[in-house]
């Protein structure tokens, strides 16, 4: 009983010392603060540290409280992948397309979609509340047969995740037709008459879709 009480007192003393720790090396504190979020700039770190009397633990707590209250929101509306119910051959390039909506109150700025498997990033255009966008990503199927699952999440410019995780599951097999279907769809869109509705010709021509050169981060 006495040992547990001593351990508890030691833990309390340690936490109190850490929480009250103030250093004159402000540049070092700023650098430590910036490690908590990707793209967290110098000015933001300085603001929260200064507001917290340069107490790192307090500043980090204030920052996360602030970010949670301001996180944007995303609603997954539809899977627009051409041939989405088909299988794909091994080691083959193909595309996934999704219709997403900003169903929150803040504008998306610097938002990116990240593949949780390989950390690949696709940067999205700014999107106002209630607006929608079509996001298209490029993948290559694995060289072996079997299920191919990829997971995607949206992040703010500072690295905070928001919205639901998008999961894509496609079977890989030698008789897959997904890539052929997508290639035919693209050819039909290119050869469509000028007066044809772009939305009918190809989903990739709808407003809000991203070209490959705009997607890579």
Shared-domain flag, residues 86 and 179: yes
Shared-domain flag, residues 124 and 43: no
153, part of any domain: yes
Q: Which structural domain, as residue segments, surrounds residue 153?
A: 74-189
Shared-domain flag, residues 127 and 112: yes
6, part of any domain: no
- pLDDT (tens, 9 = 90+) of the chain, 217 residues, equals 444 454 455 444 544 544 444 455 888 888 888 888 666 788 888 988 888 888 888 888 887 777 666 778 999 999 999 999 999 999 999 999 999 999 988 889 899 999 988 888 999 999 999 999 999 999 999 999 999 999 999 998 878 889 999 999 999 999 999 999 999 998 988 876 666 554 444 443 333 444 433 333 3
9, part of any domain: no
pTM of the complete model = 0.60
Q: Are 61 and 67 in contact (CB under 8 A)?
A: no
132, part of any domain: yes
Alpha carbon distance 60, 66 (integer Å): 10
8, part of any domain: no
Alpha carbon distance 88, 216 (integer Å): 23
């Amino acid at each position: 009983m006495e040992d547990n009480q001593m351990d508890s007192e030691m833990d309390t003393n340690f936490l109190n010392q850490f929480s009250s720790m103030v250093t004159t090396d402000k540049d070092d504190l700023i650098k430590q603060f910036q490690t908590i979020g990707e793209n967290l700039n110098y000015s933001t770190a300085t603001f929260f540290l200064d507001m917290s009397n340069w107490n790192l633990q307090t500043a980090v707590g204030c920052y996360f409280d602030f970010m949670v209250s301001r996180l944007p929101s995303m609603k997954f509306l539809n899977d627009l992948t051409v041939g989405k119910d088909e299988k794909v051959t091994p080691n083959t390039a193909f595309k996934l397309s999704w219709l997403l909506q900003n169903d929150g109150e803040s504008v998306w700025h610097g938002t990116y979609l990240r593949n949780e498997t390989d950390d690949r990033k696709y940067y999205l255009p700014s999107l106002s509340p209630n607006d929608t966008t079509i996001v298209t990503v490029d993948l290559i199927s694995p060289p072996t047969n079997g299920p191919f699952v990829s997971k995607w999440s949206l992040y703010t410019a500072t690295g905070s995740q928001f919205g639901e995780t998008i999961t894509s599951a496609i079977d890989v097999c030698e008789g897959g037709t997904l890539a052929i279907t997508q290639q035919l769809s693209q050819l039909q869109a290119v050869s469509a008459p000028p007066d044809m509705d772009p939305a009918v010709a190809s989903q990739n021509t709808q407003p809000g879709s991203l070209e490959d050169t705009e997607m890579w981060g």
